[in-house]
Amino acid sequence: REPVLSLGKAFLVIKKLRGPLPPGPPPGASLATARKHGSRVWEEYGGWARKSGPVIYATYGKTSLLLLSSAKAANDLLNKRSRIYSDRPSTVMFGELIGHDKTVFRSPTSSPRFKIHRRLMAEVVGGSDEREYVKVMEEKRISFLVSLRDDPNKFITHIKANAAAIILQVVYGYTLTNPSTDPLLRQIQEYVTHLSREGTFGKWLVDSYPFLKYTPEWFPGGSFHTFAREQRKRTEDLVQRPMEWVKTQMRSGISATSFVEEKLTHSGEEQAGRKGENMEEIIGYVAAALYVGGADTTVSALMSFFLLMVQYPSVQSRAQAEIDKCIPSHDRIPTLADPASLVYVEAVIKEVLRFAPIGALGLPHKVTEDDWYDGMFIPKGTPVIGNIWAILQDPDVYNDPITFDPTRHLPQHLTGTPPQPNPADYVFGFGRRICPGNQFALTSLFLSISSILALFDIGPPIDELGNTKELEVEYEGGTVAHPRPFECHITPRKHWMPLLENLSFVKDSICPNDQE
Ligand code: HEM
């Protein structure tokens, strides 16, 4: 007997019933060309959205990708349907070849480890009232401001050292004393550079054409194996090295309070009821994730802050005037008790987050069930990217988005119009995967930015003859982007000089690093 429906026809019927896929990129555009353009790929994707709409389904080899470029689409799918939109795609390069699936950033939501990771991270960098990390941030910012006072030209080095000093202290109890030679600082800086440059989704051909993984390393095009091998080793070292350091400190009875020390001390309780899990390994991966997540992101935001203060001197002056009004005696730097009186400073921070691409494409999610959105079919397993940069530059959401204008975030009673959406609702990503360090980052940015604005003027670079130099603005990087290194002229503010001169290093009585 003839089958009622041939296989081919049945396929077409199912396809019709399930609805069309979202539109592809505009003619002439593809993932391959976008990848070739390298940096600022978020702008390229944003351009596609203006032509093809905010929901785009792009394919390249075996890779497909759902790009969401409007707040509505990202919110509808990644937030409201976060149960099925919070997994991570496993790639050949980072999953199979490098073994990153054990890391927090790539752990599958179905794995029991996912919940443990998120709980442990919330305990240490979450926004609870206890927030032990605030004390560390306040202490480290004194050293940061002193470094800025004494050697202002190296402001980028100081920003990086400060971010690492905070996270190393909170997570491992490790006191960073000499940023220029510290082995852990060098290790994390190398790590994040590689990860940001090489870890962008779609970067590796082997992910689109998995059969390439059988290419031998010595064969032309096989050099990706070298990167995979080196990255695997870098990740193992990043997890192991600081953990071993804490364990040695604990054995010698001189460990400082930290997340790892606390968790290792109570590892028995953590382990209880989790027979199949290696809690020590989990603690190591969570610590490394906080270290990686915290080492580069606030650095990028602060670099952009310096850059924008040079470019928008009137914004800088207005923020400084607000601080001067809040602390007319100029005898202390702003604290976390001040934000209510520093609404413009808060608005500057929001506008830096909106205007500068930090994690412009966030991290890729994966949908775990077939889904439908606005009549379009989204197949199970599709990687999904929320284009955070495009959302924050959307003229339907932010008036005149290409202008750096903190007043858009001021409360209605000051401007007569409601504030535009808070960029912090987007820059930290979405759903169950939302950045666990968001409160930590916002606190750190407020403490740094408010005190820098109080104590210093940031101006354009000046040449030997005292003339102002042109400032070149370019962004580099991938997963986390930053401005390319640039110069600026940082000088103490007159009324704050006495306070600045009296700031002194808060030194720990024990320097654990010296006892290695
Ligand atoms: C301005 C600063 C920061 C920005 C803009 C930022 C942004 C992001 C974004 C967009 C994601 C991906 C979320 C998603 O998948 O939807 C993320 C994930 C993550 N962030 Fe942050 N972040 C910042 C600071 C931090 C800090 C300070 C830490 C740690 C102390 C941190 C730790 C992490 C971790 C561990 C993840 C992975 C979470 C997971 O996969 O479950 N981040 N962040």
Residue nearest to atom 18 of ligand 1 (CA): 435
**CA 368, CA 383: separation in Å to the nearest integer?**
9
**CA 275, CA 28: separation in Å to the nearest integer?**
54
Residue owning tokens 């190591």: 284
Query: What pLDDT, in 10s, does the model give residues 7-27?
Result: 767 666 666 667 899 999 998
Mean pLDDT of the 500-509 span: 62
Rg for the chain (alpha carbons), in Å? 24
How many C-beta neighbours within 10 Å does residue 188 have? 24
Query: What pLDDT, in 10s, does the model give residues 491-504?
Result: 999 999 999 988 87
Question: How many whole angstroms from 478 Cα to the centroid of ligand 1?
Answer: 14
Query: What pLDDT, in 10s, does the model give residues 177-217?
Result: 888 889 988 888 888 777 767 766 667 777 777 787 777 77
| Ordered DSSP codes for 310-377 | HH-HHHHHHHHHHHHHHSTT--S---TT-GGG-HHHHHHHHHHHHHS-SSTT---EE--S-EEETTEE
- What are 338's two structure tokens? 């001040």
The SS3 call for residue 18 is helix
CB 51 within 8 A of CB 326: no
b/e 405-415 (16+ beta carbons within 10 angstroms → b): bbbbbbeeeee
Question: How many whole angstroms from 80 Cα to the centroid of ligand 1?
Answer: 19
Q: What pLDDT score was predicted for residue 129?
A: 62
Q: Which of 195, 435, 482 to mutate to test the pocket of ligand 1 (most atoms within 8 A of CB)?
A: 435
Closest atom of ligand 1 to CA, residue 440: 27
pLDDT > 90: percent of the chain = 61
Q: Beta strands of 381-493 (E only): which ranges?
A: 383-386, 456-459, 475-477, 481-483, 489-492
435 known member of a binding site: yes
Query: What pLDDT, in 10s, does the model give residues 413-426?
Result: 999 999 999 999 99
Query: What pLDDT, in 10s, does the model give residues 461-499?
Result: 998 888 998 887 888 777 788 888 999 999 999 999 999
Closest atom of ligand 1 to CA, residue 118: 41
Closest CA to 334 of 317, 319, 312: 319
Q: Which of 85, 297, 361, 430 to mutate to test the pocket of ligand 1 (most atoms within 8 A of CB)?
A: 297
**CA 352, CA 343: separation in Å to the nearest integer?**
14
- Helix, strand, coil % in the chain, rounded to nearest 5: 55, 10, 35
Give pTM, 2 decimals.
0.91
Question: How many whole angstroms from 292 Cα to the centroid of ligand 1?
Answer: 9
| H-helix or E-strand spanning residue 226 | helix 224-251
Closest CA to 182 of 135, 245, 128: 245
Pocket around ligand 1: residues whose beta carbon is below 6 Å from it? 104-105, 125, 167, 289-290, 293-294, 297-298, 301, 358-359, 362-363, 365, 427-430, 433-437, 440-441
Q: What angle do CA 125, 126, 131 make, to 5 degrees?
A: 75
CA atoms within 13 A on the CB side of 166: 36
Question: How many whole angstroms from 126 Cα to the centroid of ligand 1?
Answer: 12
Burial of 36 (0-12, 13-18, 19+ CB in 10 A): exposed
Closest CA to 202 of 94, 130, 98: 94
**CA 237, CA 229: separation in Å to the nearest integer?**
13
- What are 204's two structure tokens? 């590796």
Q: Which residue has the higher pLDDT, 186 or 80?
A: 80
Mean pLDDT of the 340-345 span: 95
| Ordered DSSP codes for 100-154 | GGGSGGG--TTSHHHHHHHHHHHHHHS--S--THHHHHHHHHHHHHHHHHH-GGG
Number of residues that make up the chain:
516
**CA 56, CA 189: separation in Å to the nearest integer?**
34
Confidence of residue 375 (pLDDT cuts 50, 70, 90): very high
The SS3 call for residue 57 is strand
CB 300 within 8 A of CB 293: no
Question: How many whole angstroms from 363 Cα to the centroid of ligand 1?
Answer: 9
Q: What angle do CA 487, 488, 490 make, to 5 degrees?
A: 140
The SS3 call for residue 228 is helix
CA atoms within 13 A on the CB side of 136: 27
Q: Which of 428, 444, 445 to mutate to test the pocket of ligand 1 (most atoms within 8 A of CB)?
A: 428
Indicate the average pLDDT of the chain.
88
Helix 133-150 crosses helix 438-455 at what angle (to 10 degrees)? 30
Question: How many whole angstroms from 45 Cα to the centroid of ligand 1?
Answer: 21
Mean pLDDT of the 237-259 span: 93
* Chain-centre distance for alpha carbon 309: 21
